[in-house]
Amino acid sequence: QKEVEQNSGPLSVPEGAIASLNCTYSDRGSQSFFWYRQYSGKSPELIMFIYSNGDKEDGRFTAQLNKASQYVSLLIRDSQPSDSATYLCAVINTGGFKTIFGAGTRLFVKA
């Protein structure tokens, strides 16, 4: 079992729709969770971080965390073609300093 799992996609949604990206993690004690966006050939850029169970909203983005289910998701409302990228879920493992990244989900937003 991978430490951080994401559906590789591609996930294709029409412009204006809601894109839902999911991530599960194996380390039950993990406390810090991040979503990064990476355009092809570029470096990852932070979208959001979340530490507590529940929802956290920032503009068109909402991160959801359920520690009991070891599940974190990212919702993108009113998806735009410019949102087309790979989205990386990242988790800091228990008691350590290692940030584990998922392999990423490729999102395509069709105009």
Partner 1 sequence: NAGVMQNPRHLVRRRGQEARLRCSPMKGHSHVYWYRQLPEEGLKFMVYLQKENIIDESGMPKERFSAEFPKEGPSILRIQQVVRGDSAAYFCASSSNAPGTGGETQYFGPGTRLLVL
Interacting residues toward partner 1 by CB under 8 A: 31-32, 34, 36, 42-46, 49, 51, 88, 90, 92, 95-104
- Tokens (6 digits) for 32: 């810090």
Distance from chain centroid for Cα 100: 12
10 vs 81 by CB, closer to partner 1: 10
Residue nearer to partner 1 on the CB measure, 17 or 26? 26
Helix (H) or strand (E) holding 68: none
| C-beta of 44 vs 83, nearer to partner 1 | 44
> Least distance in Å: CB of 15 to partner 1?
25
Cβ 47 to partner 1, closest distance in Å?
A: 11
* DSSP-assigned states of every residue in 79-105: --GGG-EEEEEEEEPTTS-PEEEP--E
Asked if residues 64 and 52 have their Cβ atoms less than 8 Å apart, the reply is no
